[in-house]
Amino acid sequence: MNQRSYAVTPIVAESTLTCPYCGHAEHETMPVDTCQYFYKCAGCGELLRPKAGDCCVFCSYGSQPCPPVQQGQRCADDAAGDRA
């Protein structure tokens, strides 16, 4: 629907987040224009935060990295350290 010419790879906006504490997996739709830094697990109620070097919870615990990262960008330059 909303295709743009610069994107070579189609952006996957859906990701399955797996909680590192209890293993609960939840299918989520990612916001395409912002990062989700916190995520509350529906299984154990733990508040998940990105691992060091990751910009959002989807990059750390999701089956897909967040849309900006899929496009080869970094979404939150203030939150992510250098990982290269």
Q: Shortest Cβ distance from residue 38 to Zn ion (Å)? A: 13
Q: Segment 20-79, which members bind Zn ion (CB under 5 A)? A: 21-22, 24, 41, 43-44, 46
Query: Does residue 7 interact with Zn ion by CB under 5 A?
Result: no
Rounded CA separation 84/82 (Å): 6
Rounded CA separation 57/6 (Å): 25
- Extract the tokens encoding 13: 């906006």
Q: Shortest Cβ distance from residue 37 to Zn ion (Å)? A: 17
Q: Shortest Cβ distance from residue 49 to Zn ion (Å)? A: 13
